Structure 1
C-alpha cells in the first residue's frame, strides 16, 4: 500500500497521479480535508511541471493508437467504462460526499448515474456523427463544379481538462467522454479541494479496458500543475470550468501556443417571476437555487419578481426556504450540506456582511450556520449596481428585486457582465417567447430549472464563457474538421 493510499468510509483511493497507466508519486503533497467535519482525508500528490510534462508525454505517446482505434471499438470501451462506473456508484458517491460535502442521496440518485450516462451518450453520438459528402454546384469558376467535398472530424491530440470542485466527477466526465470519443487522449487536472473521485475513476476506467496513457490524472494546485499543463506546447486542446480570472490566465497561455480553448465560467443568473406565473411553481424554482449549498454556476441567484405579487411571493418563499434542513450531507433528511472550504465560507460571509452594511435586509439567513454551513439567505433592498447583485457569490445567497413590466424585467436580468443562464416563470406562452428572445444567456429555462439534455449546446455568453459543449458541438471542439475536395477528373481505369 502506498503512503498516498487513503481509506474514505471504507473505500480505498490511491491519491498519487495516474500517468501512462501507472501510479506516480510526487516529492511534495497537499492535505485534503473533508468539509463535513474538518477531518483530514489524506495526503495528495502535489504535481509540478515535472509530472505535467510526463503526463503530456504519456498522452502524446498514446494518441496515435487511440486515434486509429475504429469508432465502434472506441464506443465499446466507453460503454465498458460506463458499466464499470455503474458498478461503483456507491463507492464514488461516498468518496465525493466526504470530499466536497454535497448530499449523498444526490450523488447516489443523480450525479453518479449521470457520470455513466456521459460516456454512453458520447459513445453513441460518435457512431451517429456523419461524414457528410456534398457536390459543389456553385463555385468561383465553372471548373470547380461537380467536385465532391468530404467533411471529417479528425482527433486533435492531447487535451488538458481542468475541472471545478462543486460537481467534480460529473463535470470532469462531461469533458473526458467527448474528448475520448473523438479519439483524443486526456490529461485531467481536478480541483485541489475535491481531488479524490478523479483518482478513483482512473482505476475504474483502466479496469474497464481504457488503454494506458489515454487518460492521465495530475493532482495539484492550479498555479503549479495547471499552469504547466496549459502552457505545454504539445497540448492541442484546453477545456476549463471555473472562475473568470483563472480563465484569462489560461487564455493567455493557450494563445501563446495557438491552442483552442473552451471556457465555462461563472454566472449571476436571473429568475424572472411574472404575475401570471403559477406562484407555487415559481417559489419551488426559487428555493431550488439553494441546491448544493448554492455552489452551482447555473443557479438563478437574482430573483426578479413583478411588483404586484412580490409580497405574496416573499411570504411563500420564506415559509418554504425556512423549512430546509441543513447539516450532515450523509443524512437522508438533510436538504443543504456544508460549503466546500473555510475560505469559501469566508468569501460568502464577506459578500453578505458587506451587503448588509450597505443597506440590504436579510429576509432569512444572513449569517453562518453550524460547522462549515452557511444559512440559506435571501437579501432584499439591494441596488442593481451593488456588489451582491453584480458578482458571483457561489453560496446559498439569493437577492430579491422587483420590476414593473417586461421591459424592466429584461433590463434588470441582462444588466450584469455574465450570461450563463436564466429562468422564466410565466403562464403566458407569448410572454415567454418575447422575454426569452431578449435574454442574454446560454440556456433559458421556462417554468423549469436544471433540465439538461446532452444533445443541446451548453455554455455561456459574455464573461460566462467561450464556446459550447454537448452533442456535435463537443466534437467540433475536440476535433480538427477537415474537408477533402475530390475532382471528377483525372482518374485512371484499373478495371
Structure 2
C-alpha cells in the first residue's frame, strides 16, 4: 500500500499514528466515498498487535502528560485548535468525500465546532475547582486526578467532531488517548494526528489505530492498562464493549442510539413545528438525536401533514459538495439496505408512505414519512438511522407523553407548544437526556449530554466530562497535628 493518498487535493497519510510515529500494517481495508461509490484509497488495517502498541505508547506517555501543568495542557489544546482552524477547508472537503455530509455544513459549522471542542475544554480545565468545605473543623479539598490511558471509539456520522468531543476533555484531564475511528470514515482522524504533532503534543499522548472493531475492538477495550472507555455507537456493540471492559472494571461512558419523539400540540406555532419536523432529515437522517417519531395532536394532524409534505418537497437531495444540496447520500450500501429493509417491512405491515419510501440512484434514499404505524411496530421501536420519519396522532397530553416514552431509548425529545405551563408539565415527564422546547439541536458544551435507558450510560460535557475522565480525590486535613518547623 502507499503511505499517502490524495483526497480532493489534500494529502492524507493512510497509516496508524502510534507513539508519535506513522505505523503501517500488513493488511489494508478499502475506503469508499458514499457520494459516488468511488474508491478513495487503501487504509492500514489494524490488528491486536497495533492495538497493544497504541495502548503501550499511551501508557508510557501518561506519567509525563499527567504531571504537565494545567496551563501547559490548555496551551497545547489551544494550539491544536489553531491548527484545525488553519485547515478547515481541507478537513471539510476530506470529511465530505469520506462520509457524504454537506460540505457547506462542514465549512461553516462542523469543523469550527472541532476547534471549539479543544478551546472549550482547555478553558474549562483552568476553571475546574470545588470550593473547600469544612467538616467539624477539618478541611475537605477535592482534586481531579488524571485516570490513565483512555480508549475512544467513535462513529461515522460526524467523525471528527464526535472524536474531538471525546479527545479534548480526555487530554485536558491529563489522560492519554487511543482513538479508534470508524472504519467507514478514517481520514480526518489521520489529518488530526498531523495537526496535533505540529501543535507540539508530546509523542504517545494521542494515538490512532484504524481498522475493524471486530478485529481490534476487544484488544483495546479488554487491555488492563486502559482506565477509561468512551464509545458512541450502537447498543449491540456497547454490550460487547461492556462485557470486554468488565474484567478490569474499566469505567465506561456510552452514548448510544435514539428513537426520539417530536411532540406537536395543537397550540403550537404550526409553521415552526413543521420546520422542526423537516429538520430531522438533516445529514440524511444519520443523527442520533433526530426526532424520528412525530407525534401530532389529532385536531391539527391533517393540516400538519399537508404543510409538512409541502415543505419536504423543497428538499434538495444530491451531491453534498454542491452548495444547493440539503441532504446527501447515506454512508454505505449496507446501511442503505438496512434503511430500505425497515421501510419495506413497515409498508408490508400496513404503513403508508406519505412521501418517499424508496431508494434513489446510488446511495441516496428518498426522504420518507410513514403513517398508519402501530406503536409496537419495528419501525416505531427501532432506530433506522436514515431519512425516515413516522407520524402518529394523540388526543390528550397524557397519551402524548405515554407514546413518547414507550420505547427502550431515551436520548432526546422535542416539544412544540405555545403553552409554557404545558411545556413544563410535559418535559418533566419525558425520559430523555436532552429535551428541546420549540427548537432543535441547540447544544452547549457545558451542558450534560448522554442518554437514558438503552440510549447510554453516563453524561459528558463541562464538569461531567472531567468527572468521567478523572479519578476524583477528596483530601481531609485536620486542623492540628502540625510540627513547628521554625
Please confirm whether the aligned pair reaches a TM-score higher than 0.5, indicating the same fold.
yes
Alignment counterpart, residue 436 of structure 1, candidates 421, 427, 433? 427
Residue in structure 2 matched with residue 3 of structure 1 by the alignment? 2
Cα distance, 1:493 vs structure 2:
1.1
Report whether the alignment pairs 1:388 with 2:379.
Answer: yes
Among 330, 338, 348, the residue aligned to 2:339: 348
1:486 is displaced (CA, Å) by 1.0
Comparing 485-494 with 432-441, greater Cα deviation is found at: 485-494
Q: Determine if the alignment matches structure 1 residue 126 to structure 2 residue 125.
A: yes
Distance in structure 1 (CA, Å) of the matches to 2:43 and 2:342: 31
Q: For residues 399-429 of structure 1, what are the alpha-carbon distances to aligned partners after superposition, in whole Å with 9 as ceiling and x for unaligned? A: 0000001000000000000000000000000
The aligned counterpart of 1:78 is: 77
Shift of 1:190: 0.3
Q: Which residue of 2 aligns with 1:96?
A: 95
How do residues 183-202 of structure 1 correspond to structure 2 at under 5 angstroms?
183-202=174-193
1:403 to 390, 394, 397: 394
Give distance in 2, aligned partners of 1:103 and 1:369.
18
In structure 2, the residue matched to 1:274 is 265
Q: CA deviation at 1:273?
A: 0.2
2:17 matched to which residue of 1?
A: 18
Which residue of 439, 443, 454 maps to 1:463? 454
Report SS of the residue matched to 2:361. coil
CA distance in structure 2 between the partners assigned to 1:16 and 1:278 by the alignment: 52
Q: Deviations over 1:60-94 (max 9, x none)?
A: 01101111110011001000100100000000000
Tell whether the 8 Å contact from 1:4 to 1:43 is kept in structure 2 after alignment.
Answer: no
Task: Tell me the number of residue pairs that the alignment of Structure 1 and Structure 2 aligns.
Answer: 486
Q: CA deviation at 1:100?
A: 0.3
Counterparts in 2 of 1:171-186, with a 5 A limit?
A: 171-186=162-177
Correspondence list, 1:262-411, <5 A: 262-411=253-402
Render the CA deviation track for 1:430-461: whole Å, top value 9, x for unaligned: 00000000000000000000000001000000
Question: Superposition pairs for residues 467-482 of structure 1, below 5 Å?
Answer: 467-482=458-473
Task: Specify the alignment match of 1:151 in structure 2.
Answer: 142
- Which residue of 1 is the match for residue 205 of structure 2? 214
| SS state at 2:161 partner | helix
- Over residues 192-220 of structure 1, what are the superposed CA-to-partner deviations in whole Å (9 max), with x where a residue is unaligned? 00010001111011101111100000000
Matching of residues 238-253 of structure 1 within 5 Å: 238-253=229-244
- Given that 1:4 and 1:42 are in contact with CA atoms closer than 8 Å, whether structure 2 keeps it comes out as no
Equivalents in 1 of 2:180, 2:406: separation in Å? 34
> Residues 60 and 234 of structure 1 are in contact (CA less than 8 Å); yes or no, is this contact kept in structure 2?
yes
Deviation digits for residues 237-262 of structure 1, max 9, x if unmatched?
Answer: 00000000000000011111110000
**Partner of 1:233 in structure 2?**
224
TM-score, normalising length: structure 1: 0.98
Structure 1, unaligned runs of 5 or more: 137-144
Partner Cα distance (1:427, 1:370) in 2 = 41
Distance 1:135 1:311 in 2: 62
1:57 paired with 2:48, answer: no
Is 2:438 aligned against 1:447? yes
- TM-score with structure 2 length normalisation? 0.99
2:259, 2:218 → 1: CA distance?
27
Q: Deviations over 1:252-298 (max 9, x none)?
A: 11111110000000000000000000000000000000000000000
Deviation at 1:103, TM superposition (A): 0.3
The answer for the alignment partner of 1:142 in structure 2 is none
Shift of 1:131: 4.3
Cα separation, 1, equivalents of 2:451 and 2:395: 28
Q: Secondary structure at the match of 2:246?
A: helix
| Local SS of the residue matching 2:191 | helix
> Structure 2: 5+ residue runs without aligned partners?
none
Report how far residue 4 of structure 1 moved. Answer: 3.0
* Mapped pair 1:45 → 2:36: no
Corresponding residue SS for 2:142: strand
How far apart are the structure 2 equivalents of 1:419 and 1:349?
24
| Partner secondary structure for residue 268 of structure 1 | coil
Aligned partners of 1:25 and 1:231: how far apart in 2?
A: 23
User: Corresponding residue for 1:427?
Assistant: 418
Q: Residues of 1 paired with 2:142 and 2:125: CA distance?
A: 15
